[in-house]
Amino acid sequence: MVKTIKNISENTFQALSSLSKTDIIDLLHSKGILGDDIRLTNLFKSDENNFSIHQLNEKDINFLIKVFSDELIIPNFHSFSEKITEITKLVESNCNGSVANYIPELKSVDPKHFAVSICTIDGQCYNFGDSETPFCVQSTCKPINYCIALESLGEAKVHQFIGKEPSGQRFNEVALNKDGLPHNPLINSGAMMCCALIKPEDTIAERFDYVKKYWSQLTLNRGPGFDQATYESEKLTAHRNYALAHLMQEIQAFPKNTSIENTMDLYIRNCSLTLTTSNLSLAAATLANGGINPFSQEKIFSNETIKDCLTIMSFCGMYDFSGEFAFKVGIPAKSGVSGAIMLVIPNVMGICVWSPNLDHYGNSVRGVEFATRLTETFNFHNFDSLVGNSSKIDPRRHFSNANFDI
């Protein structure tokens, strides 16, 4: 077996040796490995005219061999991308819904924006539309806030203050569960509670920096930005969220000594961070990849944190459409009122769709249609069987030679 793999590698290496730099880059592109991939900086920087694959170091060559021996999670990325573009174009014609208007700044966003970005656990990327236009993350920051709280305090402590059930009510309903706690970490009350749990002893500047550092790690320092205008406008109009925070304060739901002012400030700041779909798909890919950034290989969140977060996302991430979404689409997701939806296919890929027109639940109309068509086409629903006949496409690599002997 070892000999066979070695032969494949040698053949791949021989084939690569005869190609020009441009040919290699074109081929990489068809595999979803893009020109800004930090794993191949040496290749991208090399001199086009005097290029030889022998100039690259062992790590670079091993990575190229891995790509061209079809060892990435989506081996036929080209066909996969074509199918995704087909879906995306169908979805683009849907202009239903309207932009969120309860936060003044969100009213002025152009509803025509549309972007889809995908990043696999092996760092294969796909981008469509306005994938480099920044938007406010709004509630798509909530899974990350939850992960940060879990990382610092652990699951048991965090869930002393937050439940694990869908609320069955609007995301900003002034309502708590029967224990007087937020229903879950992905609705407003629960997200405020997560903010209250993040470094409460530090100053607001330090706490916000701490959160931003996580986003920088998730996005390879490509984000986040900050939308000052949205922050200011939300701060002035977040009466319902303040009501919720005061209710929680009154019944002592928060940990002792919680400052509502600081908690609300951190919450609104986090919602006002800006990212592009390509960056948010990277964060989603890290959630899909057990907390490890596919490019830097940095372990950002523990396996336990990821398991807890994806579980809650599976049934609480899509407002009061979450049950329907779990049934029909069947993947962990989180949507935000800016029209972004983060989708995670565990152990395969992260996806971000952005289109500002929302349905009456507050979910992006095109985002929900994209997700629905995605799992109608590919067997990505949590409960799709990987064996037996299916009309769905399975694009992922299977480890047919896996050795389970202990």
> Which two structure tokens, joined as six digits, stand for 339?
């029209």
Q: CB of 277: closest distance to ligand GLU in angstroms?
A: 16
Separation between Cα atoms, residue 326 and residue 330, nearest integer Å = 4
Is 320:373 a contact under the CB 8 Å cutoff?
no
Can residue 171 be called a binding residue for ligand GLU (CB under 6 A)?
A: yes
Binding ligand GLU (rule: CB under 6 A), the pick from 337, 345, 353, 365 is: 337
Nearest one of 305, 341, 395, 266 to 97, comparing CA atoms: 341
Nearest residue to ligand GLU, scored by beta-carbon proximity: 139
- Residue number with CB closer to ligand GLU (61 or 312): 312
Q: CB of 160: closest distance to ligand GLU in angstroms?
A: 23
- Residue number with CB closer to ligand GLU (16 or 238): 238
Binding ligand GLU (rule: CB under 6 A), the pick from 81, 172, 286, 314 is: 172
- Residue number with CB closer to ligand GLU (105 or 308): 105
Q: CB of 337: closest distance to ligand GLU in angstroms?
A: 4
Q: Measuring CA to CA, how many Å separate 63 from each of 22, 60, 69, 219, 289?
A: 17, 5, 10, 21, 18
| Chain residues 257-286 in contact with ligand GLU, contact rule CB under 6 A | 271
DSSP 349: E
Can residue 139 be called a binding residue for ligand GLU (CB under 6 A)?
A: yes
- Residue number with CB closer to ligand GLU (291 or 336): 336
Mask for 365-404, x = binds ligand GLU (CB under 6 A)? ----------------------------------------
Binding ligand GLU (rule: CB under 6 A), the pick from 12, 138, 184, 263 is: 138
DSSP 255: P
Four-CA torsion 369, 383, 332, 402, nearest 10 degrees:
-120
- Residue number with CB closer to ligand GLU (127 or 189): 189
CA atoms within 13 A on the CB side of 317: 30
Binding ligand GLU (rule: CB under 6 A), the pick from 81, 188, 189, 233 is: 188
Count the site residues for ligand GLU by CB under 6 A: 10
Q: CB of 131: closest distance to ligand GLU in angstroms?
A: 20
Q: Taking the chain, what is the end-to-end CA distance rounded to the nearest angstrom?
A: 18
| Chain residues 353-372 in contact with ligand GLU, contact rule CB under 6 A | none
- Residue number with CB closer to ligand GLU (223 or 336): 336
Characterize 298-331 residue by residue with b for buried, 16 or more Cβ atoms within 10 angstroms of its Cβ, and e for exposed.
eebbeeebbbbbbebbbbbbbbbbbeebbeebbb
Binding ligand GLU (rule: CB under 6 A), the pick from 37, 234, 308, 369 is: 234
- Residue number with CB closer to ligand GLU (139 or 276): 139
- Residue number with CB closer to ligand GLU (51 or 361): 361
Is 339:110 a contact under the CB 8 Å cutoff?
no
Can residue 99 be called a binding residue for ligand GLU (CB under 6 A)?
A: no
Is 65:12 a contact under the CB 8 Å cutoff?
yes
- Residue number with CB closer to ligand GLU (75 or 166): 166
Task: Classify residue 251 as exposed, middle or buried by CB count within 10 Å of its CB (0-12, 13-18, 19+).
Answer: exposed
Can residue 241 be called a binding residue for ligand GLU (CB under 6 A)?
A: yes
Q: In the chain, helix, strand, coil percent, each to 5?
A: 50, 10, 40
Can residue 184 be called a binding residue for ligand GLU (CB under 6 A)?
A: no
Q: What is the 3-state secondary structure (H, E, C) of 275-344?
A: ECHHHHHHHHHHHHCCCECCCCCCECCCHHHHHHHHHHHHHHCCHHHHHHHHHHCCCCEEECCCCEEEEE
Binding site residues, ligand GLU, CB under 6 A: 138-139, 171-172, 188, 234, 241, 271, 336-337
